[in-house]
Structure 1
């Protein structure tokens, strides 16, 4: 139903308004009894600004559909996608925050809230700290965990950016996750050999290739951060081995194995071992 905030009268749909438990209960309480005589018309005065009221009524009358997802299979990627939903179908973050507040205040149906949560998740790649903090503050543990994988190294954020995190505990969870990832990625890298147990070994260039692999991984070890694509960094070594088919093949296999192992490392909060 169309309506305008400039006009004090709104054209409303009763069924749509009943997506809110508050209005649903109000209608139930105000329903006239069959034996009651008509009384004076009652007016409900909502203490909301016109812009907020417009958002509320739009939310009730035209619940937003979930954003359109972009296909992505993390099982075959060493990098997290920067965009997971079609941007033009995602509700802007500031408006989304207002919608969540209204959904909570007016107890709007869970189906509408579920859609809003997907919109919030869609912002995680670009605004991970804000999404993580908002989800944590509102007890959306699953969504907070999903956003945690996109959070950059905590030392890279400014103080005013970190202040958005609602508690010391929430901050500590991210620090623990990132520390675990860095340690695990370093261990995997240092343990991965280009000719494991002599398999696929090149008799002509063995020592030179092993030295190159070792030099590359030791240089990378000190630069690993929570979002580092370890396999991708080691893959740069392949170009220098193209002249030898055996060495090139061994490097390719080692990089693929490293990528597989790195994908297994926890990158979301709920994947963090309980004893860590």
Structure 2
């Protein structure tokens, strides 16, 4: 999929559209323009005997680059971004960057044109897919835009990538459009911190004595407890709890039983952490 939006070529034109800003004229196809309710209504109300002739010209108050993008949306709507293969069911979806429409183009131009000209809903749905595809790289921008435009699913998708709110500068936080949207993120991040702590406190290296090392049980248990207590005060909503505890594994290299028990405990912790809600729409109703 080509992402060049500043040029447009129509192979079989039967109409012309001209920019009132800089005078550029583009050949177009009337049937493609009907993907816009605005043009559809215009043709229905204002058709003349010259309808269908190539000397017809529609003048619009858009620059040539904006007009090219509009005509691209109507004649050759973008395909959805391509998802990359997942390694496991808990992995976050990623996309081929070459197939994703850049966020500045989406926010400053394409969504505006789609709204202004009431473009077909299927085209808008694809633009929203591209918005979600940008969430990992630009979570605050996507969250703010999606919230402002009542795109709840896209806002929720972006929420999982937002860092602890205190880590952002004031200028960045202003991308969040209102206090309600801010508070939703506070609740999500608070839930994750508390849940991480509960998981960590509940995970034992020898659960119910299973896999216990008769020689080192007390020493190994104490090491596990010290490590998780030290971690408790540093947990944030994006902390890799299992990864932090995994640094303990190598200290048990001299004992196969303890090493195996620590590896199993870390793996179980990682599994439980992956299952934890990470988006706004996953928060329990009672929270």
TM-score (norm 1): 0.90
Q: Secondary structure at the match of 1:72?
A: coil
2:281 equivalent to 1:274: no
Matches within 5 A, 1:187-226: 187-226=198-237
In the alignment, the residues of structure 1 paired with residue 215 and residue 267 of structure 2 have an alpha-carbon distance, to the nearest angstrom, of: 23
Q: Secondary structure at the match of 1:202?
A: coil
Match in the other structure for 1:85: 95
In the alignment, the residues of structure 2 paired with residue 221 and residue 18 of structure 1 have an alpha-carbon distance, to the nearest angstrom, of: 59
2:17 equivalent to 1:10: no
Q: Secondary structure at the match of 1:129?
A: helix
In the alignment, the residues of structure 1 paired with residue 121 and residue 85 of structure 2 have an alpha-carbon distance, to the nearest angstrom, of: 26
Matches within 5 A, 1:15-26: 15-26=31-42
8 Å Cα contact 1:17-1:24 kept in structure 2: yes
| CA RMSD, Structure 1 to Structure 2 (Å) | 2.1
List gaps (5 residues or longer) in structure 2.
1-7, 11-17
Matches within 5 A, 1:28-39: 28-32=44-48
In the alignment, the residues of structure 2 paired with residue 42 and residue 245 of structure 1 have an alpha-carbon distance, to the nearest angstrom, of: 82
8 Å Cα contact 2:146-2:155 kept in structure 1: yes
TM-score (norm 2): 0.87
Q: Deviations over 1:92-115 (max 9, x none)?
A: 111111101111111111111111
2:69 equivalent to 1:55: yes
1:265 equivalent among 272, 276, 279? 276
- How many residues end up aligned between the 2 structures? 266
1:193 CA drift (Å): 0.5
Match in the other structure for 2:241: 230
Q: Secondary structure at the match of 2:248?
A: helix
8 Å Cα contact 1:69-1:86 kept in structure 2: yes
Structure having the larger proportion of residues in strand: 2
Change (3 A) 1:164 1:76: closer
Change (3 A) 1:228 1:148: same
Match in the other structure for 2:3: none
